[in-house]
Amino acid sequence: MNENVATGWSITALANPTRFISIADKVIPWLGGLAALAIAVALWMGFNAPEDYQQGVTVRIMYIHVPFAWLAMFGYSMMAASALGTLVWRHPLADVSVKAAAPIGAAFTLLALVTGSIWGKPMWGTWWVWDARLTSVFVLFLMYLGLIALNRALDDPSRAAKASAVLALIGFVNIPIIKFSVDWWNTLHQPAAVFRMDGPTIHASLLWPLMISALGFTLLFLTLHLMAMRTEILRRRVTAMRRLAARRADKG
């Protein structure tokens, strides 16, 4: 996936790694700043909103738990889209996007699990309950780790690209199936009267901070993703140059 190969394909604005890096250099600081601002505003509004009538103050965890769960899904969907880019359109940067998104997605999924279990502790009395949503997010976390392990195992980028793209797509197709089966598995054993975490309608004053927080964390995710992609391109450039240096060592 080195430079001169990319020029052969249909050039979309981001196809050329060098141009991608220059664009990324410009966009990242702005995106990062915006993300920080949005998160700050959301948390400030969240902490000034009235407490939830049933759960008291622990509802404040919702402001970060829901965005994290959303980002876990968003991250995997982005990887699936990039995987399509690798397999269907052969976009040179698609594989870079998959490899870069995996660890960040995994981090947010882990956060979703942790905050979910902390939020559930007062209600259920234990740190972990095999609640349908928490379990499917946990399975998603395993799929993220599988993808990261695959990317680490195959160090030759071109070979790993196809493999991780296929795995990402298969994983993505399976998410609804897992969701359905876990729900079914959960209701099968658990007494149905599991306390529903978020009420049927969220009060407006709680909804706004939630939306802004979700926006903020999504921007944060995109910032990290762009930075990770830029690093991945540099890593491949370093590898290519090291191979070159090895071949040059004889002539020099």
Partner 1 sequence: MRLVVETLSGERGGETIFAGVSFALGAGEALLVTGPNGAGKTTLMRVIAGLLPAATGTIRFEGGGEAFPDVASALHFLGPVNAMKAALTVRENLEFWQSLAGPRHFQVCDAMDLVDLRRTADLPFGYLSTGQKRRIAIARLYLNYRPLWLLDEPTSGLDADSTAALAHFMREHLGDGGMIVASTHLPLGLDDAQTLEMGG
Partner 2 sequence: MNHDAYVFAAYAISALVIALTVGWVVFDYRGRKADLATLEAAGVRRRSEEA
Partner 3 sequence: MIALFLRDVKLGLRAGGGALVGILFFLAVIAVVPFGVGPDLNLLARIGPAILWIGALLAGLLGLDRLFQADREDGALDVLLVHAPGFNLALAVLVKCLAHWTAAILPLVVASPLLGLFMNMTPQGIGATALTLLVGTPAIAFIGAVGAAVAVALPRGGLLVSVVILPLVIPVLIFGVSAAYAAVNDPDPFLPPFLILAALTLFFAVIGPAAAALALHHGSD
Q: What is the contact surface with partner 1 in residues (CB under 8 A)?
A: 242-243, 245-250, 252
Q: How many CA atoms lie within 13 A of 177 on its CB side?
A: 5
Kindly state the smallest distance separating residue 215's Cβ from partner 2, in Å.
16
Size of the site for partner 3 (CB under 8 A): 21
Would you give the end-to-end CA distance of the chain in angstroms?
26
Between 153 and 177, name the residue whose CB sits nearer to partner 1: 153
Binding site partner of 173, from partner 1, partner 3, partner 2, none, Cβ cut-off 5-8 A by kind: none
Going residue by residue from 108 to 147, which x/- string records binding to partner 3, judged by CB under 8 A? ---------x--------xxxxx----x--xx--x--xx-
Q: State residue 56 phi and psi, 5-degree precision.
A: 70, -140
Going residue by residue from 48 to 77, which x/- string records binding to partner 2, judged by CB under 8 A? --------xxx-xx--xx--x---------
Q: How many residues does the chain have?
A: 252
Q: How many CA atoms lie within 13 A of 205 on its CB side?
A: 12
Kindly state the smallest distance separating residue 14's Cβ from partner 2, in Å.
17
Is position 227 an interface residue for partner 2 (rule: CB under 8 A)?
yes
- Other residues' Cβ atoms within 10 Å of the Cβ of residue 143: 23
Binding site partner of 107, from partner 3, partner 2, partner 1, none, Cβ cut-off 5-8 A by kind: partner 2
Which among 186, 64, 202 has a CA at the least distance from the CA of 135? Answer: 186
Residue pointed to by tokens 């996936």: 1
- Among residue numbers 142 through 181, which ones bind partner 3 (CB under 8 A)? 142, 145-146, 149, 152-153, 155
Structure tokens at 10: 């249909």
Going residue by residue from 1 to 40, which x/- string records binding to partner 2, judged by CB under 8 A? -xxx------------------------------------
Distance from C-alpha of 123 to C-alpha of 197, rounded to nearest angstrom? 9
Structure tokens at 186: 């959960």
- Among residue numbers 96 through 155, which ones bind partner 2 (CB under 8 A)? 103-104, 107, 110-111, 114-115, 118-119, 121-122
CA distances from 16 to 98, 209, 214 (A): 17, 38, 31
Alpha helix stretches (DSSP H) within the chain: 3-6, 17-48, 62-84, 94-124, 132-153, 157-189, 204-251
Binding site partner of 208, from partner 3, partner 2, partner 1, none, Cβ cut-off 5-8 A by kind: none
Residues at the interface with partner 3 (CB under 8 A): 117, 126-130, 135, 138-139, 142, 145-146, 149, 152-153, 155, 185-186, 188-190
